[in-house]
A and B are shown apart, each in its own frame.
Chain A
Amino acid sequence: MDLEFDARYEEFRAQVRDFVAKHRPVQPMGLASAKKKERVAWLSLQIEHGYWARTIPKEYGGYGAAPDLLETVIMDEEFNKAGIARGMMAQGPSMLVPTLLSHGSDEQRERWIGSTMRGEVIWCQGYSEPGSGSDLASLQTRATEDGDDFVINGQKIWTSTADQADMCFILVRTEPDAKKHEGISYVLLPMDTPGIDVQPLRTMSGDIGENSFNQVFFSDVRVPKANVVGRRGEGWKIANTTLKHERNSLNANAEGTLIRLARLMNDETIRGAPAMASPVYRDRLMKLQARALSMKHHGMRMLTCSLRGDSPGIAGLVVKLQNCQLNYDMAALAIDVMGELGVLYDHAKYERERGFWQAHSMFSLGLIIGGGTAQIQKNIISERGLGLPREPKPAKA
């Protein structure tokens, strides 16, 4: 245990703080192509300073620093305190890039890692299908061989940001005769390929917050075989590394949300007194703070495991489940603190923070389901983590 912030780190913190203060007002948000120029400039600036893509090798467009737990902690703390995002929360940086780092060819890494980290290329994740959600390995979208290409036919659904994405990392069945888990390939697919039809789905949170949700239809979509990541038929294994990164990347900024919640409780008044003066609300806030602190330090423990090259074991399997529920519960307290006004939405008079907390509540609920539902997480924790026996397969009728 060594969390000593020696002089070098204090200096680093001061640099980060300066940077954040200077750039706080200009950070562009979102994946929309209209914002592309600002987004790329902002992310490139962060990479240049080493606040984003910090440990990605220079040859792939990163900053090339050695992993360092405390630097990560400092950057997260300072960005969170200022309430601005470090880098870009999107499926490209959090899922595709780690996957390419471990499974991609040199050419794939050179082409996609830097451009993705800089926000030039936006990705979507084409996994779920109407008939294959939790049981993802049952997916049916087919890719048949034709010369140097695969030809894709089928449908994906719940595809976040597909309407904004330039590229899709997609799971397709390339070996129809192989066993369920062995016939899948992981493919990088340009979204402007002819034959792709993206149809947006309206989500429960309406027009507020980041909530792009789509179904995507594929008819005779051609993609070069060279776009397969890893070997053909190994897509399931590769996808699982991606899912692992997805789950770890959900180590969302609980601390920042808690600070925002405390601010709300100081600002919001009931009969002229701040909500914070209510022992009942305060008690709930303190309960959540303890959970947020646990998850923060749990994140540090996970980072330490990866720096030491140790497997976090079961401790790593619980992260997604706990973080998602914590975020949902923080939004729930905020809504309760606003009381009868907590339902105001959609630019209503008296609406607080532009409906942020209602949107956050619904968004967090989406995260509880997406990327492996809470129930699936509990199956994984108990079977892989605790070694409890699998569910017996029902006899075929």
Chain B
Amino acid sequence: MDFGLSEDQHLLEQTVRSFLADQVPIERVRELRENEAPNDRATWSALAELGVAGVLVPEAQGGSELALLDAALVSQALGHAVTPTPFLASAVMAPIALASISGSKADGWLAGIASGELVCGVAVTELFSVREEAGVRVSDGKLHGKAMMAIDSYGADLLLVAIDADTLGVVKTDAAGLDITRLATVDVTRCTAEVLLDGVTPAALFEAAGPAVARMLDAGRIALAADALGACESMVEQAVAYAKQRKQFDRLIGSFQAVKHMCAEMIAEVEPARSLLWYAAHSFDAMPDEAPLMACHVLAHVSEIAREIASVSTQVHGGIGWTDEQNLHFWFKRIGNARHLLGGPELLRNRAAELQGFAPAA
């Protein structure tokens, strides 16, 4: 009986964190942002060799078939280092969906995902929010329409398209009639895209895939919360480090209570949120009935504390925090991007209320 990380989990976390510190330091992220697709394949391949791409893929398909909590720790490390990768879509959401559908096609894709050779984006926004008249429909077995803000989709090889809560299409990104345009976002570390489908023949169409779609969304929300929480951790660390080094009025600014208390308030939010994250991630595998509620709560809660931390950490830095050169904005923007990627806090809390019968179901 134990509510804490195992030694293996600590090891996994450390391995990924030290790899990222070595191989993808912030200077490298600065270089990558100039790329057409910042989540470059070389980094992803190297991470795949560490087991990152296949963390959730079944062993039979070459993955390590770990728990969502393990994936959340990796996600947290990636957020901490603001690494541009397709982890959320390709290593979390797609494998969860494909593994619960199974079948020989899905198995093949899973093997590709685990090796890192196949990058899979997901287009799921319309499951929870519809803007710009987006939506994808099936007619005569072909896909038509538009999907907005598709995650990790620019530069991907394969795309999972949620058509509705029960139907999932898989399309190859070189399919005829498919057009993927990168949408520039304030955060340059994610390859978000608009997907236009003009009579695209899907590589597979899964109907009655309701449980797979729901699980994919829950897993994505928990992993995204982990990413944002990792970014928060780093912002607190950077603020504390700066406060120990910057002097004003002949004193380290960290000796001013105003600054100290800002730092204390930030960490006081981070630590309990970490506990909630562990529980939510653990519930996904061990207590699946609780996972939908936990997924909503953890992402909504982390989104709220993260917005505050993003601001306060920047304030601790003063003017330099507001510059491009200081790099702090990479974290600020990563956090900003996470906030609505799989549903914003208001939407998630409304869903949490619905799940408990507090609000009339939509």
Could you tell me which A residues sit within 8 Å of B by CB distance?
1-4, 68-70, 262, 265, 276, 279, 282-283, 285-287, 289-291, 293-295, 297-298, 300-301, 303-305, 307-308, 310, 314-315, 318, 321-322, 375, 377-379, 381-383, 385-392
Q: Does B282 contact A (CB under 8 A)?
A: yes
In the complex, which residues of chain A have a beta carbon less than 8 angstroms from the beta carbon of B271? 298, 314-315, 318
Decide: B273 and A294 in contact? CB cutoff 8 A. Answer: yes
Given A294-B272, A298-B275, A388-B243, A289 and B297 touching (CB < 8 A)? yes
Given A289-B297, A318-B268, A379 and B257 touching (CB < 8 A)? yes
Proximity bits, B288-331, A CB within 8 Å = 1, else 0:
00000010011011001000000000000000000000000000
| Besides A291-B272, A301-B275, 16 other A-B contacts (C-beta < 8 A) | A1-B67, A279-B350, A282-B349, A283-B350, A291-B301, A293-B279, A293-B297, A294-B273, A294-B275, A297-B275, A297-B276, A303-B3, A381-B264, A388-B254, A389-B244, A389-B255
Q: Does B35 contact A (CB under 8 A)?
A: no
A-B contact pairs, 18 of them (CB 8 A): A1-B3, A1-B69, A4-B286, A279-B350, A286-B350, A287-B304, A290-B349, A297-B3, A298-B275, A300-B275, A304-B3, A307-B2, A314-B271, A378-B261, A378-B265, A381-B267, A382-B261, A387-B240
A382 to B267, CA, bound (A): 9
Complex partner residue of A386 from B240, B282, B287, CB under 8 angstroms: B240
Decide: A301 and B268 in contact? CB cutoff 8 A. Answer: no
Decide: A262 and B358 in contact? CB cutoff 8 A. Answer: yes
Given A1-B2, A282-B359, A386 and B352 touching (CB < 8 A)? no
Q: Does B346 contact A (CB under 8 A)?
A: yes
Given A262-B358, A279-B350, A3 and B69 touching (CB < 8 A)? no
Which of B248-275 touch A at CB < 8 Å? 251-252, 254-255, 257, 259-261, 263-265, 267-269, 271-275
Decide: A286 and B3 in contact? CB cutoff 8 A. Answer: no
Decide: A295 and B297 in contact? CB cutoff 8 A. Answer: no
Given A293-B297, A388-B243, A279 and B257 touching (CB < 8 A)? no
A294 to B304, CA, bound (A): 13
Decide: A286 and B260 in contact? CB cutoff 8 A. Answer: no
Decide: A293 and B276 in contact? CB cutoff 8 A. Answer: yes
**CB nearest neighbor in B for A316:** B271
Decide: A1 and B240 in contact? CB cutoff 8 A. Answer: no
Decide: B353 and A290 in contact? CB cutoff 8 A. Answer: no
Least CB distance, A303 to chain B, in whole angstroms: 7
In the complex, which residues of chain A have a beta carbon less than 8 angstroms from the beta carbon of B294? 293
Complex partner residue of A318 from B257, B261, B267, CB under 8 angstroms: B267
A178 to B263, CA, bound (A): 35
Decide: B275 and A383 in contact? CB cutoff 8 A. Answer: no
Complex partner residue of A279 from B67, B244, B264, B359, CB under 8 angstroms: B359
Instruction: Identify the 6 closest CB pairs spanning chains A and B, nearest first.
Output: A286-B349, A290-B301, A378-B264, A382-B260, A298-B275, A381-B264
In the complex, which residues of chain A have a beta carbon less than 8 angstroms from the beta carbon of B21? none
Complex partner residue of B1 from A69, A283, A392, CB under 8 angstroms: A69
In the complex, which residues of chain A have a beta carbon less than 8 angstroms from the beta carbon of B261? 375, 378-379, 382
In the complex, which residues of chain B have a beta carbon less than 8 angstroms from the beta carbon of A389? 244, 252, 254-255
A385 to B266, CA, bound (A): 12
In the complex, which residues of chain A have a beta carbon less than 8 angstroms from the beta carbon of B259? 388
Proximity bits, B57-100, A CB within 8 Å = 1, else 0:
00000000001010000000000000000000000000000000
**CB nearest neighbor in B for A318:** B268
A181 to B259, CA, bound (A): 27
Q: Does B104 contact A (CB under 8 A)?
A: no
Least CB distance, A57 to chain B, in whole angstroms: 21
In the complex, which residues of chain A have a beta carbon less than 8 angstroms from the beta carbon of B254? 382, 388-389
Given A262-B358, A291-B301, A388-B260, A69 and B350 touching (CB < 8 A)? no
Query: Which of B255, B271, B274, B350 has the most CB atoms of chain A within a 10 A radius of its CB?
Result: B271
Given A305-B4, A389-B254, A392-B255, A285 and B358 touching (CB < 8 A)? yes
A237 to B13, CA, bound (A): 36
Complex partner residue of B301 from A4, A294, A314, A385, CB under 8 angstroms: A294
In the complex, which residues of chain B have a beta carbon less than 8 angstroms from the beta carbon of A318? 267-268, 271-272
Q: Does B109 contact A (CB under 8 A)?
A: no
In the complex, which residues of chain A have a beta carbon less than 8 angstroms from the beta carbon of B358? 262, 265, 276, 282, 285-286
Decide: B300 and A290 in contact? CB cutoff 8 A. Answer: yes
Complex partner residue of A286 from B69, B243, B267, B352, CB under 8 angstroms: B352
Given A289-B352, A294-B276, A378-B261, A301 and B4 touching (CB < 8 A)? yes
